[in-house]
Amino acid sequence: MRSRSGVLLAFATAAAAFAPAQLQQPRLSSATAPALLPARPLAATRPLVATRPARHAQPAMFLGVRKALISVPVLYVLMSLNEYATHRWYQHEEFNRNHAFNRFFQRLLSVLKNRPMRLPDGRANLVKLKGGGHHHAETYDDMSLKKDKRWRQTKANSPRDSGVCWAAAASLDSDIARGTAFSWAVTGMMTVQMLPSALPVFALLGFGLLETLAVLLPGMLVHALVWNMLHPPMHGLPPVKLKYGAPSWPLEGLRDTAYFKYIYENHQGHHVLGGQANYNVCCPLTDHLLGTYVPTATWVKRMRKVPGPEGERWGIPVEPKGVPQAPIIAAGKATERDFTPTALLNAPEPA
């Protein structure tokens, strides 16, 4: 009996040596160890099985700290570039002018589709896009939007670009936000525009497709939220509702911050300068890199006077404290030129 007990004790000791530490029983000194009980018959003895402790995996971050930290500045730069390019060359149709970039596409289409390089009158056959920056045609320098039935119905109010006023008003009447907000469709378009730059850049940084989308999609939503919080209200239009696009209300608390004041003034200068500078709106950067940034102290000197109450408007602009204010013309003193928005006075001559 003693020999059988000794064998069982030896097996138990060997098994305990390979068992996890938390399953081992604390050793007792010989003085305190209880006397060994008589061993049970071998057939009735349960085999000693060393069970492994359950491993509870810690939840891992989807991106990890390094990727999360690097994704924010990289995405911001890409968004700033995309915002700049879309606003300048598409919305303001600067692509449509006779510059090297447009001439490249003229030649490309001439080769691919046998498109004429010249019009019958000898002018360059420009490649043209239909942009969406028409709200400039009715924006005063105090950022309010002109609302005048006679002005909106005529086709010849601009001395330099006949038909602009009517065409702009006609195109904007079909949009409740008058071209100032990002609808869900526009947000989707901007997101698709980001793919040709975001996918390869993030791939070079070691991001997979799902990881890239996990950064890009929330980033584009935040961009739309900031844009819709800023842009329609600053032109005196109602806040954007969810059924139209990213709503204005989630970020309304930013209106009293230094960030909001900066982007408001930056975009205010864009309008005062006739849409010829300060193309970034929510993501300031590219203007500084390309030399198209004009500081407030410079553009404020060119701010024009605006008509008083006699000038009908769509609403009162929502603005932070301390932004430049356009002088108001006394009642009955405004001329036809005063009622003409700055963008129309600065409209380029047709090519």
User: Considering the entire predicted model, what is its pTM?
Assistant: 0.71
Provide the domain limits for residue 110.
95-128
At residue 292, the 3 state secondary structure works out as coil
Query: Which residue has 């901007």 as its token pair?
Result: 190
Among residues 128, 151, 176, the one where a domain terminates is 128
Q: Same structural domain for residues 257 and 318?
A: yes
Burial of 54 from C-beta contacts in 10 A (0-12 / 13-18 / 19+): exposed
264, 124: one domain = no
Query: Residues 112, 187: one domain?
Result: no
89 and 117 both lie in a single domain? no
pLDDT value at position 129? Answer: 59
Q: Does residue 180 sit in the same domain as residue 314?
A: yes
Whole-number pLDDT of residue 213:
96
pLDDT of residue 125: 81
Which pLDDT score is estimated for 162? Answer: 40
Residue 153 within any structural domain of the chain: yes
**Model pLDDT, residue 136:** 76
**Is the residue at 89 inside a domain?**
yes
Residue 224 domain-assigned?
yes
Last residue of a domain, one of 128, 148, 174: 128
- Give me the number of domains the chain comprises: 2
pLDDT at 75: 98
Considering the domain architecture, whether residues 180 and 300 belong to the same structural domain is answered as yes
Q: Which amino acid is at 11?
A: F
Burial class (CB in 10 A: 0-12, 13-18, 19+), 341: buried
Based on the domain organization, do 110 and 203 belong to the same domain?
A: no
Q: Does 182 lie in the same domain as 101?
A: no
According to the model, what pLDDT value does residue 76 have? Answer: 98
Rounded CA gap, 243 and 257, in Å? 27
How do the pLDDT tens digits run along the chain, 351 residues long? 444 444 444 444 444 443 444 444 455 455 544 555 555 555 555 555 555 555 555 555 567 889 999 999 999 999 999 999 988 877 665 555 666 767 777 788 888 888 888 888 888 886 665 555 567 778 899 999 988 776 666 553 444 444 445 555 666 777 888 889 999 999 999 999 999 999 999 999 999 999 999 999 999 999 999 999 999 999 999 999 999 999 999 999 988 899 999 999 999 999 999 888 999 999 999 999 999 999 999 999 999 999 888 788 889 999 999 999 999 988 778 777 777 777 666 554 444
| Same domain for 272 and 202 | yes
In a domain, 104, yes or no: yes
> Does some domain include residue 337?
yes
* Cβ–Cβ < 8 Å for 282, 227: yes
